[in-house]
A and B are shown apart, each in its own frame.
Chain A
Amino acid sequence: MGPAHKGAQHRGTAGEPEVMASALEGIGKEGKKESSKKRSGSPVEGLLQPVKLSRAELYKEPTNEELNRLRETESLFHSSLLRLQVEELLKEVRLSEKKKERIDAFLQKVNQRIMRVPSTPETELTNQAWLRDGVRVPLHQVPYTVKGCFRFLPPAQVTVVGSYLLGTCIRPDINVDVALTMPREILQDKDGLNQRYFRKRALYLAHLAHHLSQDPLFGSVRFSYTNGCHLKPSLLLRPHGKDERLVTVRLHPCPPPDFFRPCRLLPSKNNVRTAWYQGQSPSGDGSPEPPTPHYNTWVLQDTALESHAQLLSTVLGSASGLKDGVALLKVWLRQRELDKGLGGFSGFLVSMLVAFLVSTHKIHTTMSGYQVLRSTLQFLASTDLTVNGISLCFSSDPSLPALADFHQAFPVVFLDSSGRLNLCADVTASTCHQVQHEARLSMVLLDSKADDGFQLLLMTPKPMVRAFDHILHLHPLSRLQAACHRLKLWPELQDHGGDYVSAALGPLTTLLEQGLGSRLHLLAHSRPPVSEWDISQDPPKHRDSGVLTLGLLLRPEGLTSVLELGPEADQPEAADFRQFWGSRSELRRFQDGAIREAVVWEAASMAQKRLIPHQVVTHLLTLHADIPDTCVHYTGGLLDALIQSLKETFSTGEEALAAAVRCYDDLSRLLWGLEGLPLTVSAVQGAHPVLRYTEVFPPTAVRPAYSFYEQLQERASLLPRPDKPCPAYVEPMTVVCHLEGSGQWPQDAEAIRRVRAAFQLRLAELLTQQHGLQCRATATHTDVLKDGFVFRIRVAYQREPQILREMRSPEGIISLRDTPASLRLERDTRQLPLLTSTLHGLQQQHPAFSGVARLAKRWVRAQLLGEELTDESLDLVAAALFLHPEPFTPPSSPQVGFLRFLFLISTFDWKNNPLIVNLNNELTEEQVEIRSVFLATRTKLPVMVIITPQDRKSSVWTQDGPSPQILHQLMVLAAEALPVLEKQLMDPQGPGDIRTVFRPPLDMYDVLIHLSPRHIPRHRQAVDSPAASFCRGLLSEPGPSSLMPVLGYDPPQLYLVQLREAFGDLALFFYDQHGGKVIGVLWKPTSFQPQPLKASNTKGRMVVSQGGELVMVPNVEAILEDFAILGEGLVQAVEARSERWTV
């Protein structure tokens, strides 16, 4: 009898709480094991316990070692926790000794094989017929004709360079860089000119590749570009067999030392002749050749491989702290996706930076890894390398070029010890700014007292789609070639060897940065990924690097303006402005009399204003770069559709909410000024989600059509009619109205209720008399109809919760004890208004809060879990995204906020951590104490604990749910939804159906109750909104509104209340209040166990005989029929889907 146990575990939503408590962390089958373990009495897995140390252990004499360690922790690390965490992380990313030995052995063999590759006779460079089939030259040879000869000779020297030797390489992908010094005989004079060196380098690799690929030692032999540079291929070798994943050996051919004369390769020199590059005969007009700084740098890089390796090994060699620091920095960069691709801030760059800081005495060799990380970040945060370049060269040789020369040629400057090579040559200004921005954020995080700084700094990935407010993709990259011509970037193309993507990147970002101006906080671009290809294939084309993604971090204060103010018309800058904005620039006369050039964007609502950057970007790209808007795929407001009301598709509801709040403000003024109340009003506070801008669908003014309703004239009210579809749902907005304290209040709970009722009646009377408002008073509240909005005013007396708490002990002492009634009253009249006003304030600071909170709520409800999580708890989670955005910045668009919500929900360890939401920044030093109290009282607290400054211990808003199973289900759903949604948003072909993640999985429910849309008042709010629904008795024009509309009448909700009351012991019911057409029912497996005969558990059960014994089981068939009876008219069909129960 009863459902199979396996299914119960899998569903994870039903079951007796104590068994399922551990399902929070255990996923699938693991959970089952743990639950059985738990039953046997061992402590709960994965739960922190308060530490218990005996007195003897705590107060024993310390050993010297212990004292030393404590002292070291104090001086070198932030805290002992951080120290342990850093040690663990390093253990995780470090290469183990065992693997190192295997790699060393492999390297030895590689060395031998390379030396054994046969040499070839000398041929012309253009004659490549000697190259065998099955291998292609890993370089685009454009133009093909190059003078010169080539022959292959085994390398003069094979040296391991880079991080492997230093011991700073980190898992998971271990690369060993090997420099192959080409013998002098291969090279000729003037090889530096016109890519000849690179051609030889490529041919050298091609020949090597062919021979090495024959060797069974290697599992794969492939080409790749060194750091993404299209002129410099490298050869990747991976061992054969099970070690294939172990290591990648990268071969970089390089010229013999002192082959190139450094003065020929200064940034101001030209080494690619225009005539050769454009395939013309040299024109003798003597026009100066453009300098080719990048080309020169790439040649120089090859010559400096060994000297860099030497420098690093002398600096980092013996200092383990420095090595730890470099490893940490690499992890830091990788989490931020900064280290890969052409112009990335690679691990090598960071090692050099650490070397620089050591040489300038900003870092000492005895520092710990954490301190190195901190000092480096501090330096990055405070230094702008685009303005003040740095140099590792300290010689004062006058022949060396000045830093300023480099600044002219490159956006970012960091010179190596020779003083001639710019290590940051490929780094764009925006990448540098992004690094700086990240470093600044990290420094703030490190300086704050946050407990989980380590987690946020080094363990949290920051993919672009989650880090930036808006994302845009430039899709067919071939468009950028045209853009290069339009932007007149021929010298740059020549310099980059025809790589139009990197040539156009800098100018494009500058253009957009200038255009977005005050709306923009940071613009970042993705770096083209480093591709790998088989040696028998041609190298990938520039356009094959897929897609260029730009991320915009917006400045919320700049977003509100629709105007781009230019200079006055008669100023000389006006022409520039006109040129920049093209046809969008117009002359306008302003109120102060000035006549100025200006650009005005069309945007009426907040949602549209947020998307002005889209208009700016498409306009500028079309105007200046010839990139049509079909190539620009802008991802910024795709999720807006889910929180738009049907009628106003241009707005995401901020305006409608503001209108409701304005109406509330008017009402509160009326209440303040009311004459004739026996006691004066001491406070009027909103307590409804609308009044804190987090109601998913904002209310609109109601204009009922009277013919649609039954009229109850003597009470001035409308009633729903059974023969019509359900009328529109109107939810009154709760307002709490505190009255002043007075000795006249009775001191008895029942009497206070009567007095409050009298006040409710009086309030209704006075509002009708003095302001002509339609009112309806009940014992607990007064409903007021004002301008089409309905407010529910609740009179409150401050001392009432206290009176409910009073208990008289036998000795006659009055003590205060919390009771359910007092807690509820306290929550409704004190905490809820406080929270509402605080979040209202938060919305004023962060305009995107409303959108994020509503999207989050919408999603949770769409997953049918809305009943379990209170409105307030979800609002607080959304608020946490704004108040504690680390390692991000507060979101400025609903889309990115929602992604982070999903991330938070899916990764937060609710079991061991409270979510601290520091509203108004009121908590300062108390966080540590809160955590220890949390640990000590963990078992008494709800599964989800949210701490606010007003509620430091009990987590009021999660007291009644979710249950562990529901929370687990929510985490699973969020973890599934996040990658799906991110993939959709990052897809340049367009996101596809964005509503996918909002559709709930229905296959896990045992019974589905299908509802008739006729009686679902909010039918049209559904995720997949129906094209047409029933008339809900509303007029589009304002009519006479003197009768109170039907309030809070939502048949599905009424039905659910009945279902839960009657069958709550047997089943769980799930429903999406926003137009859901289905109620999901899950049987509780434990209730389906046969029960012994007892008067208390006969509810809905019947007696059957089982094995000769009489037991009680649920009367499922009758219950299924009850579902239909209780919801007569509303229920369309009851579909029993599983056979998990048997009768």
Chain B
Amino acid sequence: MVARRRKRAARESEKGILSPPGYSAIPIKFSEKQQSSHYLYVREHKVREGTKSSWPQKRTLFVLSVPPYCTEECLSRLLSPCGPVQSVELQEKPDLAESPKEPKSKFFHPKPVPGFQVAYVVFQKPRGVSAALALKGPLLVSTESHPVKSGIHKWIRDYADSVPDPEALRVEVDTFMETYDEKMAEEEAKAKEEEGVPDEEGWVKVTRRGRRPVLPRTEAASLRVLEREKRKRARKELLNFYAWQHRETKMEHLAQLRKKFQEDKQRIELMRAQRKFRPY
């Protein structure tokens, strides 16, 4: 393996690092100690005319294959030599739209465990992007001045973070419920206002909050009604009343038997093929 590695190293130095067309490759390693590196494939974020993208044109760097131990802060630190970084967003898949900015609750939407991700790095100036594209690397994720935790240390920190603060949780729940209740009350008030008032075409909306509750508009309810109708019809029907009915029932029975026979034959064929009839 060592020999091979040496060979590869030689090959790399000859040819330079390969990258997909349109991208440039930046080697990235966890720390000094590692021998081989992963590659970040970066390019300027561009979209075709007409497609919408919330990322600012010219200033955004699109990064592929970000290793799992590389966090947003870390990437921001590694790319800051190219120019001041405005924001870094790590995502599982390339996504043109910026994710909704409202911060997700850490109690109700815990962060998933990261794998290899893609990143959108927004620089403050377009110059940063071009500098990043020319970056030679290798980038080091964990250095002495900025150590990145992994393994046991990371798990212990994660465990400590997962021990919740009940007060913060309570506060969050209370605020959410307050807004929710307000919203509901508003909607209800609006519905009440509209009740019995015909719209411009003259239609009156009937809700189940009225004095006489109506059938709820659900699929289950309509199915139930259909079922009831069917049963009513079946009750009235006479079985084996006419001679042809009788004949047909018999024929139906025979057809069932035939079908069963075919099924059984197929089964036997299969068992024979699997040598299932060798008793020992």
CB distance B160 to A712 under 8 Å?
A: yes
| Shortest Cβ distance from residue A60 to the other chain B in the assembled complex, whole angstroms | 9
Contact among B65, B219, B270 with A46 in the assembled complex (CB-CB below 8 Å): B270
CB distance B165 to A815 under 8 Å?
A: no
CB distance A1125 to B69 under 8 Å?
A: yes
CB distance A1058 to B39 under 8 Å?
A: no
CB distance B38 to A1115 under 8 Å?
A: yes
CB distance B159 to A719 under 8 Å?
A: yes
Per-position binary interface string of chain A over residues 5-31, scored 1 when its CB falls under 8 Å from any chain B CB and 0 otherwise: 000000000000000000001000000
Contact among B67, B160, B259 with A719 in the assembled complex (CB-CB below 8 Å): B160
| Shortest Cβ distance from residue A516 to the other chain B in the assembled complex, whole angstroms | 31
- Residues of B near A758 (CB, < 8 A) are 170, 173, 177
- Residues of A near B216 (CB, < 8 A) are 814
Per-position binary interface string of chain B over residues 1-38, scored 1 when its CB falls under 8 Å from any chain A CB and 0 otherwise: 10011001000000000111100010000100011111
Is B64 close to A, CB under 8 A?
A: yes
CB distance A51 to B150 under 8 Å?
A: no
CB distance A1062 to B115 under 8 Å?
A: yes
Per-position binary interface string of chain B over residues 97-127, scored 1 when its CB falls under 8 Å from any chain A CB and 0 otherwise: 0000000000110001111101000000000
| Shortest Cβ distance from residue B223 to the other chain A in the assembled complex, whole angstroms | 10
- Residues of B near A750 (CB, < 8 A) are 108, 176
Size band of the B side of the interface?
35 or more
Residue of B nearest to A1112 (CB): B20
- Residues of B near A1136 (CB, < 8 A) are 1
- Residues of A near B214 (CB, < 8 A) are none
CB distance A814 to B152 under 8 Å?
A: no
CB-CB under 8 A for A779 and B118, given A719-B160, A1057-B113, A1105-B18: no
Interface residues of B in 232-280 (CB under 8 A from A): 251, 254-255, 257-268, 270-274, 276-280
- Residues of B near A1105 (CB, < 8 A) are 18
- Residues of A near B163 (CB, < 8 A) are 712, 715, 717, 719, 776
Is A183 close to B, CB under 8 A?
A: no
CB distance A1061 to B177 under 8 Å?
A: no
Of the listed stretches A289-297, A383-391, A1126-1134, chain B binds A1126-1134
Is B93 close to A, CB under 8 A?
A: yes
Is A459 close to B, CB under 8 A?
A: yes
Is A812 close to B, CB under 8 A?
A: yes
- Residues of A near B159 (CB, < 8 A) are 719-720, 1046, 1049
CB distance B151 to A53 under 8 Å?
A: no
CB distance A777 to B169 under 8 Å?
A: yes
A-B contact count (CB 8 A): 242
Q: CA A1096 – CA B64 in complex, angstroms? A: 9
Is A748 close to B, CB under 8 A?
A: yes
CB-CB under 8 A for A814 and B219, given A88-B268, A459-B276: yes
CB distance B169 to A814 under 8 Å?
A: no
Q: CA A761 – CA B165 in complex, angstroms? A: 11
Size band of the A side of the interface?
35 or more
Per-position binary interface string of chain A over residues 45-58, scored 1 when its CB falls under 8 Å from any chain B CB and 0 otherwise: 01011010100011
Of the listed stretches A78-86, A216-224, A265-273, A481-489, chain B binds A78-86
- Residues of A near B155 (CB, < 8 A) are 1049, 1051, 1054-1055
- Residues of B near A57 (CB, < 8 A) are 258
CB-CB under 8 A for A1128 and B153, given A335-B279, A776-B163: yes
Q: CA A986 – CA B276 in complex, angstroms? A: 27
B25, B35, B280 interface centre (most CB from chain A within 10 Å): B280
- Residues of A near B278 (CB, < 8 A) are 92
CB distance B150 to A1128 under 8 Å?
A: yes
Q: CA A1099 – CA B108 in complex, angstroms? A: 28
| Shortest Cβ distance from residue B91 to the other chain A in the assembled complex, whole angstroms | 12
Is A1015 close to B, CB under 8 A?
A: yes
Q: CA A467 – CA B262 in complex, angstroms? A: 36
Is A146 close to B, CB under 8 A?
A: no
CB distance B36 to A1117 under 8 Å?
A: yes
Residue of A nearest to B62 (CB): A1095
Contact among B37, B112, B152, B263 with A1051 in the assembled complex (CB-CB below 8 Å): B152
Is B137 close to A, CB under 8 A?
A: no
- Residues of A near B25 (CB, < 8 A) are 1102-1103
Q: CA A58 – CA B262 in complex, angstroms? A: 10
Is B156 close to A, CB under 8 A?
A: yes
Interface residues of A (CB under 8 A from B): 25, 46, 48-49, 51, 53, 57-59, 62, 70, 79-81, 84-85, 88-89, 91-93, 172, 331, 334-335, 455, 458-459, 461, 710, 712, 715, 717, 719-722, 726, 746, 748, 750-751, 753-755, 757-758, 761, 764, 776-779, 812-816, 909, 912, 1015, 1046, 1049, 1051, 1054-1055, 1057-1058, 1061-1064, 1093, 1095-1096, 1098-1105, 1110, 1115, 1117-1118, 1121-1122, 1125-1131, 1136, 1143
The 7 A-B pairs with the shortest beta carbon distances in the complex, nearest first, are A1128-B151, A1129-B152, A815-B219, A1099-B116, A81-B264, A1117-B36, A58-B255
In the assembled complex, 10 residue pairs joining A and B whose CB atoms fall closer than 8 Å, in A order, are: A53-B259, A81-B264, A92-B277, A92-B279, A746-B180, A751-B176, A779-B169, A812-B217, A813-B219, A1115-B36
| Extra pairs beyond A331-B279, A1015-B152, A1103-B18 (15, CB < 8 Å) | A46-B274, A53-B259, A80-B260, A93-B279, A710-B160, A746-B184, A748-B180, A777-B166, A814-B217, A1061-B115, A1093-B21, A1103-B25, A1125-B30, A1125-B69, A1131-B151
